[in-house]
Amino acid sequence: MNVALNIQRCNPETDSDPHWQEYVLSVEPGMVVLSALHEIHDHQDGTLAYRYACRGAICGSCAMRINGTARLACKTQIKEIADDGDTITVEPLLNEPVIKDLVVDQGPFFAEVRKAMPWLVEKGKREPDQPLDYGADMSKQELDQWERSAYCIKCQACFSGCPKRLEDPSFIGPEACVDIYKHTYDPREAKREERLARAGEKGGVFDCDKHGVCVKVCPKDIRPMRAITFLQRRIEKGKKQ
């Protein structure tokens, strides 16, 4: 079958505004959007810019908007989103400046991730041969969400899709909330209270408007809104004590 990819192009060094460019190609069985971009780049237009690395839905670098929704290009089967003769739109992620075509500046996203301190600050000292103490003060529900959080590949689909972040850039975004959640609920973590205080500040979890787009677009089923709700409840409970 044949499909057209209508791709948003922009080179900020030469273009004042983005424009659309259409490429028609024949789709092979199992072809994903990333393979289609390779086909275009290698055989039709070598100036097309896009980002990828692993091709296996692991590195998170190929996220882009496909038919209006943030998705991983290496995981999106063309046959699942288009029939013969259809047109697929491909655009860069929202909420980050475009460097060129489908490549965005990931700086704003990683700035929020850094603020969330996405690393474990372990309690006390441990001998090298002493195993980590996983503790037991997590409910099954919390543990389930904590485990999910660890699967995040930082692809930025949730950050790009978040209508709240679009409206208010002071909101840290769903992924940073997931990072805060992961370490706040980790029984080994020494700075749980500090992390909770950060989550409760302006721009933190209480600024989420619960649009739920982050849950729909996450390619790893992390469910950021659930993590946000857990944090909100935990902070409210702390205030009552």
- Binding of ligand FES by 197 (CB under 6 A): no
- Binding of ligand FES by 62 (CB under 6 A): yes
72 vs 213, beta carbon nearer ligand FES: 72
- Binding of ligand FES by 235 (CB under 6 A): no
Residue 174's closest CA among 183, 161, 189, 186? 161
Query: Which whole-number Å values give the CA distances from 41 to 14, 25, 89, 103, 235, in the listed order?
Result: 20, 12, 16, 14, 49
Stretch that binds ligand FES, among 37-45, 47-55, 114-122, 196-204 (CB under 6 A): 47-55
- Binding of ligand FES by 157 (CB under 6 A): no
Q: Which residues contact 35 (CB under 8 A, 6 or more apart)?
A: 28
In whole angstroms, give the CA distance from residue 14 to residue 11.
6
64 close to 90: Cβ distance less than 8 angstroms = yes
- Binding of ligand FES by 31 (CB under 6 A): no
Query: Which whole-number Å values give the CA distances from 65 to 104, 182, 194, 200, 229, in the listed order?
Result: 12, 27, 35, 31, 27
CB of 93 to ligand FES, least distance (A): 13
CB of 59 to ligand FES, least distance (A): 3
Stretch that binds ligand FES, among 55-63, 76-84, 188-196, 208-216 (CB under 6 A): 55-63
Q: Which of 72, 82, 93, 158 binds ligand FES (CB under 6 A)?
A: 72
What SS3 string covers 80-132?
Answer: HHCCCCCEEEEECCCCCCEEECCEECCHHHHHHHHHCCCCCCECCCCCCCCCC
- Binding of ligand FES by 160 (CB under 6 A): no
CB of 14 to ligand FES, least distance (A): 27
88 vs 143, beta carbon nearer ligand FES: 88
CB of 51 to ligand FES, least distance (A): 8
Chain centroid to CA 160: 7
In whole angstroms, give the CA distance from residue 43 to residue 11.
20
140 close to 176: Cβ distance less than 8 angstroms = no
101 vs 186, beta carbon nearer ligand FES: 101
CB of 56 to ligand FES, least distance (A): 6
Residue with tokens 């469910």: 223
- Binding of ligand FES by 54 (CB under 6 A): yes
Query: Which whole-number Å values give the CA distances from 3 to 26, 76, 93, in the listed order?
Result: 7, 14, 22
Q: Which of 9, 27, 36, 61 binds ligand FES (CB under 6 A)?
A: 61
Q: Which of 9, 40, 48, 60 binds ligand FES (CB under 6 A)?
A: 60
Residues engaged in binding ligand FES (CB under 6 A):
52-55, 57-62, 72, 74
